[in-house]
Structure 1
Amino acid sequence: MSDDLSQLADFLAPGVEPDDVPALWSLARAQPMIAAFVTLFRGGDEEVMVRLHILREIGHRAETPRWSPDELRRHFTYIDPVKLETVLKRLRENGLMVYGEDNLYQLTDTGRNAMAAVAVLLRFGEDEDAELGFLTTQLAGMQVTGTVTPEVLQHLLAKLNALSESFEEAVASGSEFRIVDARTRLSANERWLQKGTDLLRSLLTVDDVTPEIGRVAHAIGLAQSRLARVDAAFQRALNKIESQRVTLGASGVSSSDVMAWLRDREVSAILALAQGAFGAAPQTQFLAGGHELLDRAESALSAEVQRMEADTTLPPAQDVDQNLAPETEDLSLLWKLTDRLTDVADEAPAQRLVLGGGFAPASYRLSLLSLLGGVEAQAEGPVADFTQMPYELQLEAELVQVNQDEIAWMSAGRVVRREGA
């Protein structure tokens, strides 16, 4: 057993050797590559950044990959010479760079592989999920070379499940800002989700796919299907929030605008706004006197009161008018709105479908439109039949001026026919 493995055995339970743990042994075999990353990332943040920068600059020169010491000094004139020599010595002693017999520096295979791995991680945009993009590109490369492993697929599956859980938590929170942030995150990663779907389709068409890879690949397909449906859940949640949004008078400013403005303020600024906003209220105390306590005690101890409370007999039967018709729900507005939707070919302004009859009927129609494509479609009844119609409501952040039917302003939006309907 090597010295490194003997030191590793100190972390294991008595009687357990590193060879007894296959997953740990696979890491021990990759010790040179792990040592390269330890060399790059050990120390303070500024030391790590300088090492990565020097390694990337040396590796970027593809035409003449070898550097003389004078070329390195001239290229890195903006770095302290002593610090530069220290970094070069560290990279050389730990196998990331070599100083050849021709007195020239060049990256080793380990150093170039480490630089390539870091470059892949740094290429993703700020809005994208670096982990999802890295795992997808890694899977694409392994598929081309025919070296796809269940371990890589498991990492991708875990990432997709984590995304699904975070999006479901955003919808369950009911927070408009969390839902919008989650929707933006989903949109930024759509290309990686689509790329992963294409990779899985081509992977499952190969005849020699192992059962384990096939099982994980099918689980990834299910996770991607859930993510493909989550955008509709975002829209339904935003529609529900939109129906509950409050507009502050005729100013056009909504409660969401106020919340967004407050989120951009510092805590100290919010505290300054609250100064003097709350008035002092008198602290009242209600004390029972002797007469009140005596009256309460007499009623509690009275035998007549106790007998009345213990009496559980039913009241006498009463005659009911047999000609009284049962109450039924008035669904006339629902039927008329259904007729209006039937006449919509591709899309129609929400204002034209909602208005008519005053504020109450318009509010009722808007609430019905927000149910289009919702979970109510799984139930039965007139409302369920309405939600199953091939349309959806798309509301916008702007307001349109109405000034009729007791309505001054309403949210801009349109009702569109769903694709494939």
Structure 2
Amino acid sequence: MSEVRLEELLAPGVVADDVPELDTLLRARPLLAAFSTLFHGSEAEVLARLLVLREIGRDAQTTHWTPERLRQRFTYLDPVKLETVLRRLRGNGLLDIGDDNRYTLSDLGRNAVAAVDMLVGFSAGDDLELGFLTAQLAGLQAVGSVTPEALGHLLGKLNDLAWHFEDAIASGSEFRIADARRRLSANTRWIEKGTEVLRTLLADPELPFDLARLAQPIGLAQSRLARIDAAFQRAVNKIEAQRVTLGGSGISSSDVAAWLRGRDARALAALARNALAAAPDLTLLAGGHELLDRAELALSEDARRMEADTALPPPEEAPRRDAPEQEDLRLLEHFSRRLARLAEPGQAPETLARAVAGGGFPAASYRLSLLALLADGGDSDTASPADGPIGDFMRLPVDIRFELATEPVNEDEIATMSAGLVGARGRLPAAEAVPVLDPDTLPRPA
């Protein structure tokens, strides 16, 4: 098969220079060629190349390898296949060979094997999901070369994890929720590490705008993942409330489901043998009342006609209400009359406790809330309604003063309440001045 050229993959009339996204990849052709050398061919060939390259790069004490030493190092490989691997690596710039016929690992080869080793190390557990991207971002941040692409990869992975976790919760499956919770727990340390990196980035006043634009949604996504554990717990509690216990055995439906999930297909087929029928076995289970109901329907012509009649009932006019419902404002009107008497000439101010008490705690709290409303805007004509009981109340010529202290009541379902006075406008006594402490008289530490 002939090699496919890049121009053949582009649309008619489009050249590579017209695609800005290809520029970075085209400039990295030597590196891409190195990875193509490593991963081109069958799985066995790829493993052999990676094995040789990693073992050469792992020995930090030896920088130059003679062909004889390489054959001694890889005695478990066929000599002819080993020579083919070395020639392939040397021909694509991953290995260098000097005039003394000794092999050395090139800079390109060392970078390639370091990148592969990093991925292989993270793939040993769940760290490959978020750990690799976070570690990469932390390394770039340490050397001051964070790129928007690195932040974009991390943001995409965080959004993907959040979607997976929310989908597991929406499924209602106990096993999917448990698996998602395990994944979240495995990635928690990387979320915390990413938070530290993002905090350091955002603390830089000279952070470029394109990095700050991506760093902020990453922080929001990390906070979203940090809160999702509570959602897992709520979902587990909901499932726990719906779990069914099989008799007095102590075994729940979840235990049975977990046990069945641990069986293979052969074991499940053996359990289902003689337990499932090709056609349902219809056994009539009916009591006397059910039989009478069905017999009445079968024997009564009127009952059959009523059941078959699907016509809509005749239209009826909706009941009309002559007078709309009105709010009961009797308590407000009575309280307005009481306050109006305080505004008459010669009437002394009353305490808050005396003005609002009566009728129990609900009525007293209602009156106190009315006084607070009057104290906030009672002297503004534009702030009160034009007419009605509420407008009359808002225009009462009274003043209210609330004090910081409280006074005991101990009656009418009230233990204590705020101290204060209610009286005619402009006739309340002046409030006592709050003493100002002299800083020189304050105690000082030894």
The bucket for the TM-score relative to the shorter chain is 0.5 to 0.7
Q: What SS does the aligned partner of 1:98 have?
A: strand
* Aligned CA distance change for structure 1 residues 247 and 292 (closer, same or farther; 3 Å): closer
Give how far 1:9 is off.
2.4
- The residue number in structure 2 matching 1:281 is 281
Q: Secondary structure at the match of 1:120?
A: helix
What is the SS of the residue equivalent to 1:310? Answer: coil
1:218-367 equivalent positions in 2, closer than 5 A: 218-278=216-276, 280-282=280-282, 295=301, 299=305, 309-310=313-314, 312=316
Q: CA 1:257/1:307 → structure 2, altered by over 3 Å: closer, same or farther?
A: closer
CA distance in 1, matches of 2:79, 2:170: 56
How many pairs align? Answer: 305
1:61 corresponding residue in structure 2: 59
Counterpart for residue 357 of structure 1: none
- In 2: Cα distance, 1:181 partner to 1:156 partner: 22
Structure 1 SS opposite 2:5: helix
Shift of 1:130: 0.6
Q: Whose Rg is larger?
A: 2
Take 1:307 and 1:9, find their aligned partners in 2: how far apart are those partners?
A: 70
| AA partner of residue 281 (structure 1) | D
User: Does the Cα contact within 8 Å between 1:96 and 1:111 map onto a contact in 2?
Assistant: yes
Instruction: Determine the structure 1 residue equivalent to 2:375.
Output: none
In the aligned structure 2, how far is the partner of 1:86 from the partner of 1:27?
Answer: 29
* 1:62 alignment partner, SS class: coil
Task: Report the Cα distance in structure 2 between the residues aligned to 1:135 and 1:65, rounded to whole angstroms.
Answer: 31
User: What letter is aligned with 2:281?
Assistant: A
Name the CA distance, whole Å, in 2 between partners of 1:242 and 1:131.
30
Counterpart of 1:160 (choices 148, 158, 161) is: 158
1:109-128, aligned counterparts within 5 Å?
A: 109-124=107-122, 126-128=124-126
Aligned to 1:74: 72
Aligned pair partner of 1:179 in 177, 180, 191: 177
CA contact (8 A) 1:136 1:192 kept: yes
Matched, 1:47 2:51: no
Contact 1:97 1:107 in 2 (8 A): yes
Contact in 1 for aligned 2:155/2:221 (Cα 8 Å)? yes
Change (3 A) 1:107 1:293: farther
Q: Partners in 2 of 1:254 and 1:58 — Cα distance?
A: 56
1:337-379 CA-to-partner distances (Å, cap 9, x unmatched) read xxxxxxxxxxxxxxxxxxxxxxxxxxxxxxxxxxxxxxxxxxx
Amino acid at match of 1:251: S
Residues in 2 aligned to 1:14 and 1:308: alpha-carbon distance in whole angstroms: 65
Corresponding residue of 2:416 = none
Partner of 2:98: 100
In structure 1, the partner of 2:81 is 83
What's the secondary structure of 1:106's corresponding residue? Answer: strand
- SS at structure 2 position matched to 1:141: helix
AA in 1 matched with 2:198: L
Instruction: Mark the CA change 1:298 to 1:20 in structure 2 (over 3 Å): closer, same or farther.
Output: closer
CA 1:11–1:296: 2 relative to 1, 3 Å: farther
Report deviation, 1:310. 3.3
Q: Secondary structure at the match of 2:14?
A: coil
Residue 313 of structure 1: how far off its partner (Å): 7.2
TM-aligned CA distance change 1:213 to 1:311, over 3 Å: closer
Over 3 Å counting, the alpha-carbon distance change for 1:127 and 1:255 in structure 2 is farther
Query: What's the % identity of the aligned pairs?
Result: 57
User: Which aligned segments of 4 or more residues in structure 1 are displaced greater than 6 angstroms?
Assistant: 291-294, 305-308
Asked whether 1:37 is paired with 2:35, we answer: yes
* CA pair 162-311 structure 1, distance change in 2 beyond 3 A: closer
1:202 to 200, 203, 206: 200
Distance in 2 (CA, whole Å) between partners of 1:273 and 1:130 is 39
With over 3 angstroms needed to count, the CA separation of the structure-2 counterparts of 1:220 and 1:292, relative to structure 1, is same
Go from structure 1 to structure 2 and tell me whether the alpha carbon gap of 1:292 and 1:234 turns closer, same or farther (over 3 Å shift).
closer
| Structure 2: gaps of 5 or more residues | 285-296, 320-446
C-alpha change, 1:281 and 1:34, in structure 2 (3 Å) is same
CA distance in 2, matches of 1:311, 1:134: 70
Alpha-carbon distance change, 13 to 119 in structure 1, aligned in 2, over 3 angstroms: same
Take 1:66 and 1:203, find their aligned partners in 2: how far apart are those partners?
42
TM-score (norm 1): 0.67
Partner of 1:404: none
SS in structure 2 opposite 1:15? coil
Alpha carbons 1:127, 1:185 under 8 Å: kept: no
Give deviations 1:58-115, integer Å, cap 9, x for gaps.
Answer: 0001111211101100010011111111111111111111111121111111111000
Deviation at 1:271, TM superposition (A): 1.6
Separation in structure 1 between the aligned mates of residue 169 and residue 195 of structure 2, nearest angstrom: 24
| 1:11–1:312 CA distance, 2 compared to 1 (3 A) | same
Aligned match of 1:28: 26
SS at match of 1:123: helix
TM-score, normalising length from structure 2? 0.63
Identify the residue that residue 359 of structure 1 maps to in structure 2: none
Instruction: Sort the Cα spacing of 1:274 and 1:63 in 2 relative to 1 into closer, same or farther, 3 A.
Output: same
Counterpart position of 2:130? 132
Q: Is the 8 A contact 1:68 1:104 kept in 2?
A: yes
Using the TM superposition, give the Cα deviation of residue 231 of structure 1 relative to its aligned residue in structure 2, in angstroms. 0.6
Tell me if structure 1 keeps the 8 A contact 2:298–2:304: no
- Tell me how far 1:207 sits from its aligned partner: 2.1
